[in-house]
Chains A and B, each alone.
Chain A
Amino acid sequence: MINSIAWKNIWRNKLRSSVVIAAVTFGILAGVFSAGLMNGMVERRLRAAIELETSNVQLHNPKYIENKELTFAINNADGIIASLIKMPEVKAIAKRMKIMAMANTASSGTGVVVYGIEPEKEKLVSGIYKKILPGEGPYFETDRKNSIVIGQKLAEKLKLKLKSKIVITLQTVDGMMVNAAFKVVGIYKTSNSMFDEMNIFVRYNDLANLTGFNEQNAHEIAILLNDTNLSDDVAQKLTKQFPNLDVMTWKEIQPDLGITVEFLNIMLYFYVIIILLALGFGIVNTMLMVVLERIKELGMLMAVGMNKMRIFKMIMLETIYLSLTGGILGITLGIILIQIFQQHGIDLSIYGEGFSAIGYDSMIYPSIGIDYYIGTFLLVILTGIIASIYPARKALKLNPAEAVRTEI
């Protein structure tokens, strides 16, 4: 009964209600869509980072974290891998050497991180091999000694082409500096140009031979899991199992990404709450107007015996319906828009250089979980309730005898 009265009341002044509903629709649509954009961007970045850069969990010698020295290695890495691969959560494992070095060519030189990898096993953990540019190399398909795979950004910087020679200068186990020439067998490009500029890949045994490093050992063991959400659990287990190793999840390896993901939800809701706060003022304003306009009518209703609780409920329901109509419209339009752009993507390559410098793809595919829509929906209802309190209280304070006599 009260429900339908409240709903009908809204439409007694179509223009006014429409303005409020339009405002809420616009606000929610804008909020949902921009949330979809941000979330889509971060999700893509996250997937790329885990697939190409960090995996889910990494093991290191604790000293290596502080100081990336050649000798701070994980002893008997092969044995550890053999025991880890039996865990049901684990999808794939690879061991790596990882050393800072200078890369020189005839024209110039720069600092790089050299990864020593076992190409076949590495393929299961990292997708770098998929990112080789077309026509830029066989990757490690041939058996040539001293092959190297570099990023496109580095290739540009050092003016390297496929089959070019590059000289790597690094420290051996006994502290000597050695030089070795490598031949480029692949050039890759990820969406993170910082990564492309810094990281180069060579065969594990080439690098181990060059530095005198024990082939059983490794600097880094990268573990890919079946489900990213298991990262923290697996990390905890491993910490117990290998107390003398440092276990890091992707969140710790790339703290910026971990923070971004963790703060993202807060950020998304923060935006919607600010928008709803602004909308709230408009709603309160309108409802107050509604009450003041209908003083006589409300007085009449009280005079004929409608109790105060019901009056309160009626005003509150009107407010909630008003905001909810806009909210549902906004969310629906938001879902439609997000779906449309999810198919086609939004190209931001005009600003692409800036995005890729901080690791983000310039194509954005907006997407957001169902829980966000539900959360927004609930927040809209909450806004309606809070916004109704003041006007509804105003209505309650009316004195029926006086109210009936009021001339508007």
Chain B
Amino acid sequence: MNFINLRLAWRNIWRNKRRTYITASSIMFAIFFALIMRAYQLGVYKNMTDSVVQAYMGFIQIHEKDYWKEKTMEYLFAANDDFMKKVGSIKNVSMVAPRFESFALASAGLQTKVAIIAGIDPQKENQMSSLSKKVIRYKLDEKSEQQLFDHGFPKELISTINESRTKSFTTKDDVKKKLSKIIGEANTLKYLDIFFRETKIENGYLNQEDDGVLIGNRLADFLKLSVGDTLVLMGQGYHGISAAGKYPVRGIVGIPNPELDNQIVYLTIGQCQKLYSAENMLTAISINLKNPHEMDQTKAELISALHSNEYEVMTWKEMDKVLVQQIDSDNYSGLIMLWILYVIVGFGVFGTVLMMTAERRKEFGVMVALGMQKYKLGYVVFIELILLSFIGILAGIVLSLPVIKYFAVNPIQLTGSMADMMEMYGIEPSLPFAWQTDYFMAQSGSVFIIILIAIAYPLAKIFALDTMKSLRG
């Protein structure tokens, strides 16, 4: 029975091919645009949150109560092994890393700059944010540019690389991959060895008892520091004691978040506590999760496990409210645009089905006169319209898939002033599209709902059909 209705509906929609094509294509167009827009937006949001959460903050942090509001030396706490074990034993917690964070003036030679001083446990930090993978091993600077040029590396290629803003590389593969994109594969293969030789910098990661520092790539550029040079830190320590120290630079790390990259100095946590005269004290414990979706639940578990009012447990959403709100407000404006599109498509579909029912009044009259029940007739028409929308939605998805996939794999790399702007907001200047199923469902669902509303009226018309009149019309 069902099958017959379906076949009837299918044949009906192909009776007027042009109308089917037009209606389906207007739905397809809406879905296509909605999906591309959504993929772009969600991709940017993910990029924004990743560069904050995964690279540095962690999903949840524990501090002394009120620390986050003030972020001063008055809110330090001591965490013993028991404490760490208790935190680590919570089900969803994958990593626990101690942190000691403060500000200081960092100077080298005549340059001075305010820096974020992060005391870390090198091993744990590495598991948490893969810091050692961010260590830069090949870097194009003025000196290496000259050397490259002397060894026959064409000048145009150097300036092409400079324009692309990709001048630091972490591994040999990284060099190969990025250079191929910038100067083409043939050129890359030809000059790869020279490039490896001339741009290599001896760079290390911190070991557990290290007395050196890792500094951000942009900060290194500003302070004109390279590996092996000495960095001086000056600031205010625990209880107002002045804090000063001299540290050799062990390595340079490229942090995706430009704002951090411009300011960060990593020390081992022991050295950092010594610098600030705060032995065994921490500012924060940073926690990574196995399943990020259960963040709030894990936070509740942490609070009850600590059962003390001396600590505050915060998720990244609470810590970086600005980011969350920026995303939210952008998200709203995007959603408004989407709903405008949906409503317009709704009108389009409404117009089409209205016409269709008007045109086929006689046919409907004949069917009813021949004994087809109205509800069955309505059912067939309903299936027709559903089929029509499915065709449109599917076509839209199929059309958008390759585009989204392409930009998900090859994010748009921004250059020039647009990139500067993104960096100013602390976001990596690349625009990867999001590649996940949920928004495909959401978009298709929304369009489908709009279409359902649009077809309610013509269906009602069928039920109010006056057989005699329509037969004569």
B65 is an interface residue with CB less than 8 A from chain A: no
Of A159, A255, A282, the contact of B26 (CB 8 Å cutoff): A282
> Is the pair A111, B114 in contact by a Cβ cutoff of 8 Å?
yes
Which residues of chain B are within 8 angstroms of A343 by Cβ–Cβ distance?
none
A25-49 vs B, Cβ < 8 Å mask (1 yes, 0 no): 0110011001000100000000000
> Is the pair B325, A109 in contact by a Cβ cutoff of 8 Å?
no
> Is the pair B70, A107 in contact by a Cβ cutoff of 8 Å?
yes
Interface residues of A (CB under 8 A from B): 15-16, 19-20, 22-23, 26-27, 30-31, 34, 38, 67, 69, 100, 102, 104, 106-111, 157, 159, 169, 171, 175, 177, 255-256, 258-259, 271, 274-275, 277-279, 281-282, 284-286, 288-289, 293, 348, 351, 353-355, 357-358
Which residues of chain A are within 8 angstroms of B26 by Cβ–Cβ distance?
278, 281-282, 285
> Is the pair A108, B72 in contact by a Cβ cutoff of 8 Å?
yes
User: Smallest distance from the beta carbon of B257 to chain A beta carbons, Å?
Assistant: 15
Extra inter-chain contacts (9) besides given A16-B355, A354-B325, A354-B329, CB under 8 Å: A30-B340, A109-B235, A159-B70, A279-B344, A281-B348, A285-B351, A286-B351, A289-B359, A355-B325
Q: Number of contact residues on B: which range applies?
A: 35 or more
> Is the pair A67, B111 in contact by a Cβ cutoff of 8 Å?
yes
User: Smallest distance from the beta carbon of A204 to chain B beta carbons, Å?
Assistant: 22
CB-based closest 5 A-B pairs: A354-B325, A111-B114, A23-B347, A282-B348, A281-B26
**Residue ID in chain B nearest A258 by CB atoms:** B417
Which residues of chain A are within 8 angstroms of B15 by Cβ–Cβ distance?
none
> Is the pair B114, A278 in contact by a Cβ cutoff of 8 Å?
no
Per DSSP, are chain A's interface residues mostly helix, strand or loop, or mixed? helix
What is the bound-complex CA distance between A247 and B295, given in angstroms?
Answer: 50
What is the bound-complex CA distance between A177 and B358, given in angstroms?
Answer: 86
Segment of B16-24, B205-213, B400-408 in the binding face: B16-24
Which residues of chain A are within 8 angstroms of B22 by Cβ–Cβ distance?
281, 284-285, 288
**Residue ID in chain B nearest A15 by CB atoms:** B354
Per DSSP, are chain B's interface residues mostly helix, strand or loop, or mixed? helix
Q: Which residues of B from 320 to 339 have beta carbons under 8 Å from A? A: 321-322, 324-329, 332-333, 336-337
User: Smallest distance from the beta carbon of A355 to chain B beta carbons, Å?
Assistant: 6
> Is the pair B71, A23 in contact by a Cβ cutoff of 8 Å?
no
Of A256, A286, A348, the contact of B421 (CB 8 Å cutoff): A256
Of B110, B112, B322, B354, the contact of A16 (CB 8 Å cutoff): B354
**Residue ID in chain B nearest A107 by CB atoms:** B72
Which residues of chain A are within 8 angstroms of B352 by Cβ–Cβ distance?
285, 289
B1 is an interface residue with CB less than 8 A from chain A: no
B73 is an interface residue with CB less than 8 A from chain A: yes
User: Provided the pairs A22-B347, A354-B324 are in contact, do residues A169 and B337 lie with their beta carbons within 8 angstroms?
Assistant: no
What is the bound-complex CA distance between A358 and B30, given in angstroms?
Answer: 31
B274 is an interface residue with CB less than 8 A from chain A: no
Number of A-B contacts defined by CB within 8 Å: 151
> Is the pair B421, A109 in contact by a Cβ cutoff of 8 Å?
no
> Is the pair A286, B355 in contact by a Cβ cutoff of 8 Å?
yes
20 A-B pairs (CB sep. < 8 Å):
A20-B351, A26-B340, A27-B343, A34-B333, A109-B103, A169-B105, A175-B110, A177-B105, A277-B29, A278-B30, A278-B348, A279-B348, A281-B348, A282-B344, A285-B22, A285-B351, A288-B22, A348-B329, A354-B326, A354-B328
Which residues of chain A are within 8 angstroms of B359 by Cβ–Cβ distance?
289, 293
B164 is an interface residue with CB less than 8 A from chain A: no
What is the bound-complex CA distance between A109 and B26, given in angstroms?
Answer: 59
What is the bound-complex CA distance between A256 and B420, given in angstroms?
Answer: 8
**Residue ID in chain A nearest B327 by CB atoms:** A354
Which residues of chain B are within 8 angstroms of A354 by Cβ–Cβ distance?
321-322, 324-329
> Is the pair A285, B347 in contact by a Cβ cutoff of 8 Å?
no
B235-255 vs A, Cβ < 8 Å mask (1 yes, 0 no): 110001000000000000000
User: Smallest distance from the beta carbon of B234 to chain A beta carbons, Å?
Assistant: 7
B11-47 vs A, Cβ < 8 Å mask (1 yes, 0 no): 0000000110011011001100100000000000000
> Is the pair B321, A353 in contact by a Cβ cutoff of 8 Å?
yes
Which residues of chain A are within 8 angstroms of B113 by Cβ–Cβ distance?
100, 111
> Is the pair A23, B348 in contact by a Cβ cutoff of 8 Å?
yes
User: Provided the pairs A256-B424, A278-B29, A278-B30 are in contact, do residues A108 and B322 lie with their beta carbons within 8 angstroms?
Assistant: no
**Residue ID in chain B nearest A280 by CB atoms:** B26
What is the bound-complex CA distance between A311 and B180, given in angstroms?
Answer: 58
What is the bound-complex CA distance between A135 and B365, given in angstroms?
Answer: 80
Q: Which residues of B from 442 to 457 have beta carbons under 8 Å from A? A: none
Which residues of chain B are within 8 angstroms of A23 by Cβ–Cβ distance?
344, 347-348, 351
What is the bound-complex CA distance between A255 and B421, given in angstroms?
Answer: 7
User: Smallest distance from the beta carbon of A292 to chain B beta carbons, Å?
Assistant: 8
> Is the pair A34, B337 in contact by a Cβ cutoff of 8 Å?
yes
> Is the pair B328, A351 in contact by a Cβ cutoff of 8 Å?
yes
User: Provided the pairs A281-B25, A351-B325 are in contact, do residues A26 and B343 lie with their beta carbons within 8 angstroms?
Assistant: yes
User: Smallest distance from the beta carbon of B225 to chain A beta carbons, Å?
Assistant: 14
What is the bound-complex CA distance between A274 and B29, given in angstroms?
Answer: 10
Interface residues of B (CB under 8 A from A): 18-19, 22-23, 25-26, 29-30, 33, 70-74, 103, 105, 110-114, 222, 234-236, 240, 321-322, 324-329, 332-333, 336-337, 340-341, 343-345, 347-348, 350-352, 354-355, 358-359, 417-418, 420-421, 424-425
> Is the pair B348, A285 in contact by a Cβ cutoff of 8 Å?
yes
> Is the pair B348, A108 in contact by a Cβ cutoff of 8 Å?
no
What is the bound-complex CA distance between A20 and B355, given in angstroms?
Answer: 12
Which residues of chain B are within 8 angstroms of A16 by Cβ–Cβ distance?
351, 354-355, 358
> Is the pair B417, A282 in contact by a Cβ cutoff of 8 Å?
no
Which residues of chain B are within 8 angstroms of A351 by Cβ–Cβ distance?
325, 328-329, 332
What is the bound-complex CA distance between A256 and B33, given in angstroms?
Answer: 26
User: Smallest distance from the beta carbon of B20 to chain A beta carbons, Å?
Assistant: 11
Which residues of chain B are within 8 angstroms of A355 by Cβ–Cβ distance?
325, 329
> Is the pair B340, A27 in contact by a Cβ cutoff of 8 Å?
yes
Of B73, B74, B337, B417, the contact of A259 (CB 8 Å cutoff): B417
Which residues of chain A are within 8 angstroms of B324 by Cβ–Cβ distance?
354
Which residues of chain A are within 8 angstroms of B348 by Cβ–Cβ distance?
23, 278-279, 281-282, 285
User: Smallest distance from the beta carbon of A5 to chain B beta carbons, Å?
Assistant: 21
What is the bound-complex CA distance between A27 and B111, given in angstroms?
Answer: 56
What is the bound-complex CA distance between A92 and B337, given in angstroms?
Answer: 42
> Is the pair B344, A110 in contact by a Cβ cutoff of 8 Å?
no
User: Smallest distance from the beta carbon of B76 to chain A beta carbons, Å?
Assistant: 12
User: Smallest distance from the beta carbon of B115 to chain A beta carbons, Å?
Assistant: 8
> Is the pair B236, A109 in contact by a Cβ cutoff of 8 Å?
yes
What is the bound-complex CA distance between A26 and B339, given in angstroms?
Answer: 12
What is the bound-complex CA distance between A286 and B240, given in angstroms?
Answer: 77
What is the bound-complex CA distance between A356 and B468, given in angstroms?
Answer: 66
User: Provided the pairs A175-B110, A255-B421 are in contact, do residues A278 and B23 lie with their beta carbons within 8 angstroms?
Assistant: no
User: Provided the pairs A282-B344, A282-B351 are in contact, do residues A108 and B325 lie with their beta carbons within 8 angstroms?
Assistant: no
**Residue ID in chain B nearest A284 by CB atoms:** B22
What is the bound-complex CA distance between A110 and B116, given in angstroms?
Answer: 10
What is the bound-complex CA distance between A275 and B343, given in angstroms?
Answer: 10
User: Smallest distance from the beta carbon of B100 to chain A beta carbons, Å?
Assistant: 15
Of B29, B114, B354, the contact of A110 (CB 8 Å cutoff): B114
What is the bound-complex CA distance between A23 and B325, given in angstroms?
Answer: 33
Of A15, A157, A274, A286, the contact of B33 (CB 8 Å cutoff): A274
User: Smallest distance from the beta carbon of B325 to chain A beta carbons, Å?
Assistant: 3
What is the bound-complex CA distance between A239 and B71, given in angstroms?
Answer: 45
> Is the pair A107, B341 in contact by a Cβ cutoff of 8 Å?
no
User: Provided the pairs A255-B421, A281-B25, A289-B19 are in contact, do residues A357 and B105 lie with their beta carbons within 8 angstroms?
Assistant: no
Which residues of chain A are within 8 angstroms of B111 by Cβ–Cβ distance?
67, 69
User: Smallest distance from the beta carbon of A10 to chain B beta carbons, Å?
Assistant: 14
**Residue ID in chain A nearest B115 by CB atoms:** A111
Which residues of chain B are within 8 angstroms of A111 by Cβ–Cβ distance?
103, 113-114
User: Provided the pairs A255-B420, A282-B344 are in contact, do residues A288 and B322 lie with their beta carbons within 8 angstroms?
Assistant: no
User: Smallest distance from the beta carbon of A293 to chain B beta carbons, Å?
Assistant: 7
What is the bound-complex CA distance between A18 and B343, given in angstroms?
Answer: 15
**Residue ID in chain A nearest B30 by CB atoms:** A278
> Is the pair B72, A102 in contact by a Cβ cutoff of 8 Å?
no
